[in-house]
Structure 1
Amino acid sequence: MSMVSVIIPVFNEEETINHLVLELNAYFQRETRFSTEIIFVNDGSSDDTMHRLKKAPHLSYSYKIISFSRNFGSHAALRAGILRAKGDYITFMYADLQDPLSLVSQLFEEIDSKRVDITWAFRNSTAVSKAEKVFSLAYATLMRKYAVPNFPKKGFDVVMFSKKVKACLDTNVENNSSIFIQILNLGFKQAGITYDKRVRLVGKSKWTFSKKIKLLIDSFVAFSFAPIRLVSFVGIMFFLLGVLWTGYIVFRKIMFDDLASGWPALLSILMVGFGITNISLGIIAEYLWRTLDASRKRPVFVIDEIVEETLEAKPGNRLLVDAI
Structure 2
Amino acid sequence: MPAERLTVVIAAYNEAASLPLLHPRLRAVLDALDGIEGRILYVDDGSSDATWAVLQALAAADPAVGVLRLSRNFGKEAALTAGLDFVESGAVMILDADGQDPPELIPEFVALWRQGYDNVYGTRRVRDGEGWLKRSTAAMFYRVIGRLSKTPIPADTGDFRLLSPRALQALGQLRERHRFMKGLFGWVGFRRVALPYHRHARMAGHSQFGLWRLWNFALEGITGFSTAPLRVTTYLGLATAGFAFLFALWVVGKAALYGDRVAGWPTMMVVILFLGGVQLIALGLIGEYLGRLYEESKQRPLYLVDTWQAPFVADSGVHPNVGGQRDGHGTTAVGRQVP
Q: Same fold (TM over 0.5)?
A: yes
Alignment of 1:34-113 (within 5 A): 34-56=36-58, 62-113=64-115
Q: Residues 87 and 211 of structure 1: is their aligned pair in 2 closer, same or farther, counting only changes over 3 Å?
A: farther
AA aligned to 2:209 is W
Query: Could you tell me how far apart the structure 1 residues matched to 2:123 and 2:198 are?
Result: 9
Q: Say if 2:159 and 2:181, in contact at 8 Å, map to a contact too.
A: no
AA aligned to 2:243 is L
AA aligned to 1:224 is S
Q: Which residue of 1 aligns with 2:278?
A: 276
RMSD: 1.9
Q: Say if 1:28 and 1:60, in contact at 8 Å, map to a contact too.
A: no
Query: Could you tell me how far apart the structure 2 residues matched to 1:138 and 1:189 are?
Result: 26
Query: Could you tell me how far apart the structure 2 residues matched to 1:29 and 1:227 are?
Result: 48
Local SS of the residue matching 2:68 = strand
AA aligned to 1:177 is R
Q: Which residue of 2 aligns with 1:126?
A: 127
Q: Which residue of 1 aligns with 2:331?
A: none
Local SS of the residue matching 2:310 = strand
Aligned residues: 312
- Stretch moving more, 145-154 or 61-70: 145-154
> C-alpha displacement at 1:310, in angstroms?
2.4
AA aligned to 1:141 is R
Q: Which residue of 2 aligns with 1:310?
A: 312
AA aligned to 1:283 is L
Q: Say if 2:41 and 2:83, in contact at 8 Å, map to a contact too.
A: yes
> C-alpha displacement at 1:263, in angstroms?
4.7
Q: Say if 1:252 and 1:259, in contact at 8 Å, map to a contact too.
A: no
CA deviation map 1:78-120 (0-9, x unaligned): 110111012411121111111111222211110112x122111
Q: Which residue of 1 aligns with 2:228?
A: 226
Local SS of the residue matching 2:262 = coil
Q: Which residue of 1 aligns with 2:183?
A: 181
Determine which of 29, 33, 57 is the counterpart of 2:31: 29
Of structures 1 and 2, the one with the larger relative CO (CA 8 A, separation 6+) is: 1
Query: Could you tell me how far apart the structure 1 residues matched to 2:120 and 2:59 are?
Result: 30
> C-alpha displacement at 1:284, in angstroms?
0.2
% identity of equivalent residues: 22
- Stretch moving more, 128-137 or 256-265: 256-265
Using structure 2 for the length normalisation, give the TM-score: 0.87
Q: Say if 2:113 and 2:120, in contact at 8 Å, map to a contact too.
A: yes
Alignment of 1:106-255 (within 5 A): 106-113=108-115, 115-127=116-128, 128-148=130-150, 150-255=152-257
Query: Which protein is richer in helix relative to its size?
Result: 1
Query: Could you tell me how far apart the structure 2 residues matched to 1:221 and 1:198 are?
Result: 30
Query: Could you tell me how far apart the structure 2 residues matched to 1:106 and 1:293 are?
Result: 39
CA deviation map 1:250-272 (0-9, x unaligned): 01001112643365443332222
Query: Could you tell me how far apart the structure 1 residues matched to 2:59 and 2:196 are?
Result: 32
Local SS of the residue matching 1:309 = coil
Query: Could you tell me how far apart the structure 2 residues matched to 1:21 and 1:188 are?
Result: 31
Local SS of the residue matching 2:172 = helix
Using structure 1 for the length normalisation, give the TM-score: 0.90
CA deviation map 1:170-199 (0-9, x unaligned): 221222221121111222111221111112
AA aligned to 2:279 is T
Query: Could you tell me how far apart the structure 2 residues matched to 1:148 and 1:124 are?
Result: 24
Query: Could you tell me how far apart the structure 2 residues matched to 1:94 and 1:242 are?
Result: 52
AA aligned to 1:255 is L
CA deviation map 1:135-174 (0-9, x unaligned): 1110111011111474323333311111212222222122
Query: Could you tell me how far apart the structure 2 residues matched to 1:60 and 1:97 are?
Result: 19
Q: Residues 78 and 18 of structure 1: is their aligned pair in 2 closer, same or farther, counting only changes over 3 Å?
A: same
Query: Could you tell me how far apart the structure 2 residues matched to 1:263 and 1:180 are?
Result: 50
> C-alpha displacement at 1:59, in angstroms?
5.0
CA deviation map 1:287-307 (0-9, x unaligned): 001011011111111111112
> C-alpha displacement at 1:72, in angstroms?
1.0
Query: Could you tell me how far apart the structure 1 residues matched to 2:60 and 2:38 are?
Result: 11
Query: Could you tell me how far apart the structure 2 residues matched to 1:310 and 1:29 are?
Result: 16
Q: Residues 121 and 87 of structure 1: is their aligned pair in 2 closer, same or farther, counting only changes over 3 Å?
A: farther
Q: Say if 2:11 and 2:76, in contact at 8 Å, map to a contact too.
A: yes
Runs of 5+ consecutive residues of structure 2 not aligned to the other structure:
316-339
